[in-house]
Structure 1
Amino acid sequence: MAILAAVWFFFVLLSYSVVRPVRETMGAIGGTKQLQGLMLVTFVAMLVAVPIYAVLVNRLPRRWLVRVVFHFFSLSLLAFCASLSFGDELVRVWAARIFFIWVNVFGLFVTSVFWSVLADLFSSEQGKRLFGRIAAGGTVGAVTGSLLTSQVATELSTAGLLLIPMATLQAGLWFAWRLERRVAKEPSFAPKGIPHDGDRPPAVGGLWEGVTHVVQSSYLASICVYLFFVQAAGTQLYFQQAEIVGANVPDDQSKTQLFAYIDFGTQTLTLTAQLLLSGWILRRLGVAISLVILPLVYLISFSVLSTYGSLAVVATAMVATRAAAYGITVPAREVLFTVVSRRDKYKSKNFIDTVVLRGGDALSSQVLGSLRNLAGFGFATLNLCSLPLIALWAFAALRLGRRQQQLAERKT
């Protein structure tokens, strides 16, 4: 079953890796002022999307929940393709802005649904052993998507590129369906105390039940704090990338190609981490050490960027931080949810993966934009000021990892 999950994730991240360079290009065009507004609107879009998703979780079996979500995003890609191909200039401009927001929603929702299903199917110990390998399947898809986009970005129109992820999302759904059938035929796979019923809705209750559970649970709240730091640091680095690339790379096609190459380098390093390091670190050193690695990488990156803010340095920092995040932090983060209730795996986890993450983007983007545009702070100064906060983030990571270990021991 791990192989089916890995292939499904292969197609999920292949799809995302095709659309992400297009999003980066659109984000770099308007600079930090436009990014502030787009990230704020993205957060509002998440606030609208989460209650709708909660209704689906209440009413649809797991297998149908997956299909509805993925079919929706496939149809959205078809609509963007038509708008960019046949719309007038005003339609294309607004389609580009909406597309930036859509990609952020898309990337979080499809991966959140995928990992919710995996947290439902695997125990904590199985997750420590298998999640790195499953994530590696997604990384191979991301490498494939990045390499494919880097080669065809100058040959195909943006509308033509969008047909690729539309097809690959549907291919991934076939493997998701096979995974559900395999689970139904092998009930002995289910860990003790974990139901694998794909014919029942994953949860019932109010639309905002996932929110109240996050507020009431210190463990879930700690996950939110950790992920807020992840997003804040990532947004700060993303703003620097947009500004430096905008100043040094002339045309949009070259920007798209550069971002695709950065993605390719990121995913290659991520795959290495997932195959050789992630599982070993989680099993031998524990979740706490796995979670603290990303803050340390950001600490080094911002220290260097405070002195050398060149295109090469920011590109290297993007590759290093993203590789650490996807290669080590993501498998560890998903293991955190193996010890919560099934309801929290879908409702609370989706709220955390969408609203909390994009809320972190929106808040940090407003603060950074204000410090840059109103107070006149340079990125070198901001990088230095962020170092004590990153140290605090590392401490929170250690405490969260130890808490997960305690909860896992209680369930065994």
Structure 2
Amino acid sequence: MPAPLQRPREALRRIPRSTRAPLVWAFLYFFFLLTGYYVLRPVRDAMGASADVAAVFPTSAIAWFGARGIDLGDFTLQVLFTGTFVAMVVLQPLYGALVSRVPRRVFLPVVYLLFIACLVGFYFAFDSGLPGRGAAFFVFVAVFNLFAVAVFWSFMADVFADHEARAVYGYIGAGGTLGGLLGPELTGLLVGSLGVANMLLISAGFLGLCVLCILMLWPHAGRRTRAAGDAETIGGSVLAGLRLVAREPLLRAIAMLMFFGVGVGTLLYNEQAAIVRALAADDAVAAVTFYSRLDRYINWLVLVIQVLLTRRLLARFGVAKVLLIPAVAVLGGYALLAASPLPILVAIVQVATRAGEFSLGKPARETIYTRVAPEWRYKAKAAIDTVVYRGGDLTFVWLHKALALGGSHVVFGVGFLVAAAMTLGAWRVGREQAKLPA
């Protein structure tokens, strides 16, 4: 067997037997979760790029803006991102109330069952061609992605201790990457024969499997919770997550890293979309093919890094240095783009940016939450992963609209400054997390 393939097998053998069973269930959990999400993502992207304004927005909204001389079709993404942020702000206190008052063994399945119920409702909306379904679905998928993934990693911090997390998070992330490869393939193979509405039911089925994985992982989480002396019900204020972020230097640093990290991604995504529209304005098939290939390259690169490098880098260099790797790569990529914004270079930097985040940045950040109190894991983390994340989206999607008037050089020049702020945030997170107990 080739040496590169022997290393992960040898590393798996060194994982204690007591950790192997939860690793398998966590791997399957993340695989099912991201398969279900990536089944939905092409439907969401189609709604965001749809020229059928009536399918995206309610008839009353189209008429209201039209009477004031505003064509909603010219601001589709900006309006959808704004709606997503508002939804996050409204839902964050409700999520905080659920976390405060309901035991984790109850609210974890409840969150997923609520998402399943929503998907069943959207099935009827798409099946009947309900006007305005696109905007509601776009916002729902964005909320689902952030809350469901945030809950997943919070739960993993309950299941695995810090030293275990450094050993297994790369493999767990690979499960999600495999789901990210399978989901779009399922949609591409089945949507033509089953239709869009039935794809939502397939996604709901994968979420049902996530609930099964939660139930299988709960005994492992319960043992660690009792050993750490943590209460099963977190308690506290429903807005405690936002207050913790405002008060704690480490959480503020993570929020800064998240905000500007989202910024570099949003500027790159919107500029790339503008380039694709210019190059393939009358060829929708070419545009879809380009995006599908891009996602495929990203997910395969993420999978290779997660299996071969993530565990070794975290174990050898620690969280602080690993966080700086994708940040410095993004900084260098934006420097190149500011000098020469070629379409092929935009695609290469997009692949490097997203692959670095999913394979190194996110696993490194998530290991930090294994060393903090449950209220940090479930409240502060959710606030950062939802309100701060979508606040960054909202800020930079409108900023790009203004910067684009000056051309790509202006967009990427400002993007370089945003990437520098992201790198500073990564350094601050590394410094602050070093103060936590081992």
Partner of 1:235: 266
Partner of 1:389: 418
Deviation at 1:141, TM superposition (A): 1.3
Q: Is the 8 A contact 1:11 1:168 kept in 2?
A: yes
Tell me the distance in 2 between the aligned counterparts of 1:237 and 1:302. Answer: 9
Tell me the distance in 1 between the aligned counterparts of 2:93 and 2:225. Answer: 30
Q: Is the 8 A contact 1:77 1:163 kept in 2?
A: yes
Partner of 1:141: 179
**How has the CA–CA distance of structure 1 residues 28 and 380 changed in structure 2, closer, same or farther, with 3 Å as cutoff?**
farther
Deviation at 1:362, TM superposition (A): 0.8
Which residue type is aligned with residue 223 of structure 1? I
Normalising by the residue count of structure 1, what TM-score does the alignment of the two structures yield? 0.89
Deviation at 1:234, TM superposition (A): 0.8
Tell me the distance in 2 between the aligned counterparts of 1:172 and 1:362. Answer: 30
Deviations 1:119-159 (A, max 9, x none): 12222222212211111111111111133234345544322
Deviation at 1:190, TM superposition (A): 6.1
Of 41, 44, 62, 1:20 maps to 41
Q: Is the 8 A contact 2:264 2:418 kept in 1?
A: no
Deviation at 1:347, TM superposition (A): 0.9
Deviations 1:26-83 (A, max 9, x none): 3234688321221111111001111111111122221221111111111211211211
Tell me the distance in 2 between the aligned counterparts of 1:74 and 1:366. Answer: 32
Correspondences of 1:201-280 after superposition (within 5 Å)? 201=233, 203-249=234-280, 250=282, 255-256=287-288, 258-280=290-312
Partner of 1:400: 429
Q: Is the 8 A contact 2:116 2:207 kept in 1?
A: yes
Partner of 1:56: 98
Of 212, 234, 238, 1:174 maps to 212
Of 95, 98, 107, 2:145 maps to 107
Tell me the distance in 2 between the aligned counterparts of 1:310 and 1:115. Answer: 37
Please provide the CA RMSD for this pair: 2.3
Tell me the distance in 2 between the aligned counterparts of 1:301 and 1:231. Answer: 15
Tell me the distance in 2 between the aligned counterparts of 1:16 and 1:210. Answer: 25
Tell me the distance in 2 between the aligned counterparts of 1:258 and 1:70. Answer: 32
Q: Is the 8 A contact 1:15 1:169 kept in 2?
A: yes
Deviation at 1:313, TM superposition (A): 3.8
Which residue type is aligned with residue 193 of structure 1? A
Unaligned runs of 5+ in 1: none
Which residue type is aligned with residue 96 of structure 1? G
Tell me the distance in 2 between the aligned counterparts of 1:238 and 1:154. Answer: 27
Of 316, 323, 328, 1:284 maps to 316
Deviation at 1:205, TM superposition (A): 1.6
Which residue type is aligned with residue 250 of structure 2? Y
Deviation at 1:227, TM superposition (A): 0.5
Tell me the distance in 2 between the aligned counterparts of 1:20 and 1:153. Answer: 13
Correspondences of 1:289-308 after superposition (within 5 Å)? 289-306=321-338
Q: Is the 8 A contact 2:32 2:209 kept in 1?
A: yes
Deviation at 1:328, TM superposition (A): 0.7
1:406 match: secondary structure: coil
Tell me the distance in 2 between the aligned counterparts of 1:339 and 1:34. Answer: 41
Which residue type is aligned with residue 339 of structure 1? R
Which residue type is aligned with residue 273 of structure 1? I
Tell me the distance in 1 between the aligned counterparts of 2:330 and 2:74. Answer: 21
* Higher relative contact order structure (alpha carbons within 8 Å, sequence separation ≥ 6): 1
Tell me the distance in 2 between the aligned counterparts of 1:228 and 1:32. Answer: 26
Which residue type is aligned with residue 4 of structure 1? W
Deviation at 1:226, TM superposition (A): 0.6
**How has the CA–CA distance of structure 1 residues 406 and 79 changed in structure 2, closer, same or farther, with 3 Å as cutoff?**
same
**How has the CA–CA distance of structure 1 residues 168 and 251 changed in structure 2, closer, same or farther, with 3 Å as cutoff?**
farther
Correspondences of 1:72-83 after superposition (within 5 Å)? 72-83=114-125
Deviation at 1:306, TM superposition (A): 3.8
Of 128, 136, 148, 1:86 maps to 128
Of 356, 376, 383, 1:351 maps to 383
Tell me the distance in 2 between the aligned counterparts of 1:391 and 1:59. Answer: 40
Percentage identity across aligned positions?
34
Which residue type is aligned with residue 412 of structure 2? N
* Greater Cα shift, 66-75 or 27-36: 27-36
2:406 match: secondary structure: coil
1:245 match: secondary structure: helix
Tell me the distance in 2 between the aligned counterparts of 1:157 and 1:254. Answer: 22
**How has the CA–CA distance of structure 1 residues 151 and 311 changed in structure 2, closer, same or farther, with 3 Å as cutoff?**
farther
Tell me the distance in 2 between the aligned counterparts of 1:152 and 1:311. Answer: 31
Of 36, 41, 60, 2:83 maps to 41
* Residue correspondences, number: 395
Computing the radius of gyration from Cα coordinates, the structure with the larger value is 2
Tell me the distance in 2 between the aligned counterparts of 1:178 and 1:6. Answer: 12
1:286 match: secondary structure: helix
Tell me the distance in 1 between the aligned counterparts of 2:339 and 2:133. Answer: 38
Which residue type is aligned with residue 371 of structure 1? L
Tell me the distance in 2 between the aligned counterparts of 1:259 and 1:192. Answer: 47
Q: Is the 8 A contact 1:20 1:103 kept in 2?
A: yes
Which residue type is aligned with residue 51 of structure 1? P
